[in-house]
Structures are given as structure tokens and as C-alpha cells.
Amino acid sequence: MTVQKVLQVDIEKCVGCHMCEVACSLKNTGKVQPSRSRIKVIGYEKRGSYHNYIPMVCQQCTTPLCMEACPTNAISRDAETGAMVVDDDACVGCRVCNMVCPIGGVSIDPATDVAYKCDLCGGDPECVKYCYYEALEYVPKDKMDSSLKRSKSEKLSELFALMESLR
């Protein structure tokens, strides 16, 4: 059996272009509408001082509180992709999933009034295809750990150069 993949977020690489929101809304609604994107880039900007961005998206929890809390059992895990998916017909729009989610990964679509969230596009997430600097990557579960560690180690590796220069 192939290893399931996860949508990995490396916040330090995000440049705040919102391309993931564009791709997500295009793929899921056929229109460009970031306000209905399943992924959302939160900006921390102060002009003249700093510009930081953090993409927030459902992480498909091991113990999905949304599923546990859902009174109509509208949320379940897709066996193939591992994504938590919403059954639109069963959802009553009570927003309990939204209340219990620790990271705001699920919300109510303002246009349809039922829960909407990242479903990993059925195993082929659109957003990662445009993330040039790879703040978003779709990586096998068993590679996630080493993948992020490698990315974070790049900064530390500059120490080598520094040490070299001081020698």
C-alpha cells in the first residue's frame, strides 16, 4: 500500500502571494474568490516594519475534533487520501466543527451554508502546484519529518559558512 501524503506547511517560505487561495477557489468553485478558499494566508504586515505570512489549512488531524463533535456525522475520513471530508447533505451548518477545530481548518461556506474544508483535492492538491517556493508541499507521511527538518537545517547550515569565514 502506498504511503498516504500530507499537506505540509513551511511557514518561513510563504511569500504571501495568495496563489493557493486563487487555485483553491478556482478548482472548487470555478471562480476566483479567495474568500471561499479552503486555505487562507494570514498576513502580519506593518508597513515600513515587517511583512510575514502564515498559510492556515486543515491538517487532517489524527484525532479529528470536527468529526468527533459533528452531531450529524457529516464529517468522515477518506480512506484513500486520509482527508477529512464533509457530506454536504448530512451537514446542517451548525458550526460546531468550526468551534472545536484548534486551527480554524473548517468553516461554513458563506455561499452554500454548509461546512467546507480542505479535502486534499481527492489526493491531488491544486494549491501546491503554484507554490514556487514550496511553502506548501504534498509529501508522504513518512517523509514529512525529514522534509521539514531538512528545510529548517538550511538556515543552520549557514553557520558552517560563518565558522569557515572566522577560521
Rank residues 13 and 143 by Cβ distance to other proteins and give the closer one.
Answer: 13
User: How far from chain centre, in Å, is Cα 138?
Assistant: 10
Report helix, strand or coil for 73.
Answer: coil
- Name the β-bridge partners of 64: none
Summarize as ranges the residues that interact with other proteins (CB under 8 A).
15-19, 22-23, 25-27, 29-36, 42-43, 45-51, 110, 126, 129-133
Among residues 48, 47, 97, 89, the alpha carbon closest in space to that of 70 is found at 97
User: By C-beta, is 7 or 67 nearer to other proteins?
Assistant: 7
For the four alpha carbons of 20, 68, 139 and 5, in that order, the dihedral sign comes to negative
Residue 96 or 116 having the CB closest to other proteins: 116
- Shortest gap between Cβ of 71 and other proteins (angstroms)? 28
Nearest-approach distance from CB 39 to other proteins, in angstroms: 14
